[in-house]
Chain A
Amino acid sequence: MFDVEKIRKDFPVLQQKIYGNPLIYLDNGATSQKPRVVIEKISSFYSQSNSSIHRGVHFFSEQATAKYESARITVKEFINAKHVHEVVFTAGTTASINNVAFSFGEKYIKAGDEIILTEMEHHANIVPWQMLCDRKGCKLKIIPFDDNGELILEDLEKMFTPKTRILAVTHVSNALGTINPVKEMIKKAHAYNVPVLIDGAQSIQHGVVDVRDLDCDFFVFSGHKIYGPTGIGVLYGKEKWLEEMPPYQGGGDMVRNVTFEKTTYNDLPFKFEAGTTNYVGAMGLATALNYLTETGREEIKEYESELTGYAHRKLGQVEGLKFFGTSTNKICILSFLLDGIHQYDAGMIIDKLGIAVRTGTHCAQPVMDHFGIDGTLRASLAFYNTKDEIDRLYEALLKVKQMLGS
Chain B
Amino acid sequence: MTLNEIQDEIIEDFEFFDEWMDKYNYLIELGNKLEPIDPKYKNNGYLIEGCQSKVWLRTELDQGKVRFTADSDAIITKGIVALLVKVLSGRKPEEIKDADLYFIDRIGLKENLSPTRSNGLLAMMKQMKLYGLAYYAKQGESKK
Interface residue ranges, A against B (CB under 8 Å) = 19, 342, 344-345, 347-349, 352, 359-361, 374-375, 399, 403-404
Among candidates B24, B51, B52, B53, residue contacting A403 with C-beta atoms closer than 8 Å:
B24
Q: Is B119 an interface residue (CB 8 A)?
A: yes
Chain A residues with Cβ below 8 Å from B13 are none
Please state if A344 and B74 are interface contacts (CB–CB under 8 Å): yes
Q: How far is the CA of A19 from the CA of B52 in the complex (A)?
A: 22
Assuming the contacts A359-B52, A361-B51, asked whether A344 and B24 have C-beta atoms less than 8 A apart, the reply is: no
Among candidates A344, A349, A399, residue contacting B52 with C-beta atoms closer than 8 Å:
A344
Chain B residues with Cβ below 8 Å from A361 are 51
Nearest residue, chain A, Cβ from B50: A344
Please state if A345 and B52 are interface contacts (CB–CB under 8 Å): no
Assuming the contacts A360-B51, A404-B28, asked whether A345 and B76 have C-beta atoms less than 8 A apart, the reply is: yes
Given A345-B75, A348-B24, A404-B75, 7 more A-B residue pairs with CB atoms under 8 Å apart are A342-B75, A344-B52, A344-B119, A348-B76, A352-B24, A403-B21, A403-B28
Assuming the contacts A352-B21, A403-B21, A404-B75, asked whether A344 and B28 have C-beta atoms less than 8 A apart, the reply is: no
Among candidates A342, A348, A399, A403, residue contacting B73 with C-beta atoms closer than 8 Å:
A342
Q: In whole Å, how far is B27's beta carbon from the nearest beta carbon of chain A?
A: 9
Q: Is B25 an interface residue (CB 8 A)?
A: yes
Q: How far is the CA of A374 from the CA of B28 in the complex (A)?
A: 21
Nearest residue, chain B, Cβ from A352: B20
Q: How far is the CA of A352 from the CA of B75 in the complex (A)?
A: 16
Q: In whole Å, how far is A375's beta carbon from the nearest beta carbon of chain B?
A: 7
Chain B residues with Cβ below 8 Å from A342 are 53, 73-75
Q: In whole Å, how far is A127's beta carbon from the nearest beta carbon of chain B?
A: 16
Please state if A375 and B52 are interface contacts (CB–CB under 8 Å): yes
Nearest residue, chain B, Cβ from A359: B52
Q: In whole Å, how far is B128's beta carbon from the nearest beta carbon of chain A?
A: 21
Nearest residue, chain B, Cβ from A399: B21
Q: How far is the CA of A361 from the CA of B52 in the complex (A)?
A: 8
Please state if A345 and B21 are interface contacts (CB–CB under 8 Å): no
Q: How far is the CA of A359 from the CA of B74 in the complex (A)?
A: 12
Q: Is B69 an interface residue (CB 8 A)?
A: no
Nearest residue, chain A, Cβ from B19: A352
The 16 listed contacts between A and B (C-beta, < 8 Å) are A19-B20, A342-B75, A344-B53, A344-B74, A349-B24, A352-B20, A352-B21, A352-B24, A359-B52, A361-B51, A374-B54, A374-B73, A375-B52, A399-B21, A403-B24, A403-B25
Chain A residues with Cβ below 8 Å from B20 are 19, 352
Chain B residues with Cβ below 8 Å from A348 are 24, 76
Chain A residues with Cβ below 8 Å from B51 are 360-361
Nearest 3 CB-CB pairs, A to B? A342-B74, A352-B20, A344-B74
Nearest residue, chain B, Cβ from A342: B74
Q: How far is the CA of A214 from the CA of B117 in the complex (A)?
A: 40
Chain A residues with Cβ below 8 Å from B75 are 342, 345, 404
0/1 per residue, B89-111, Cβ < 8 Å to A?
A: 00000000000000000000000
Q: Is B7 an interface residue (CB 8 A)?
A: no
Chain B residues with Cβ below 8 Å from A404 are 28, 75
0/1 per residue, B22-55, Cβ < 8 Å to A?
A: 0011001000000000000000000000011110
Q: How far is the CA of A19 from the CA of B108 in the complex (A)?
A: 13
Please state if A344 and B77 are interface contacts (CB–CB under 8 Å): yes
Chain B residues with Cβ below 8 Å from A403 are 21, 24-25, 28
Q: How far is the CA of A375 from the CA of B73 in the complex (A)?
A: 12
Chain A residues with Cβ below 8 Å from B28 are 403-404
Q: In whole Å, how far is B124's beta carbon from the nearest beta carbon of chain A?
A: 15
Please state if A344 and B21 are interface contacts (CB–CB under 8 Å): no
Q: In whole Å, how far is B44's beta carbon from the nearest beta carbon of chain A?
A: 14
Chain B residues with Cβ below 8 Å from A345 are 74-77
Q: In whole Å, how far is B109's beta carbon from the nearest beta carbon of chain A?
A: 10
Q: How far is the CA of A345 from the CA of B24 in the complex (A)?
A: 9
Q: How far is the CA of A19 from the CA of B75 in the complex (A)?
A: 22
Q: In whole Å, how far is A81's beta carbon from the nearest beta carbon of chain B?
A: 37
Q: How far is the CA of A288 from the CA of B119 in the complex (A)?
A: 35
Q: How far is the CA of A360 from the CA of B21 in the complex (A)?
A: 22
Q: How far is the CA of A300 from the CA of B25 in the complex (A)?
A: 40
Nearest residue, chain A, Cβ from B54: A374
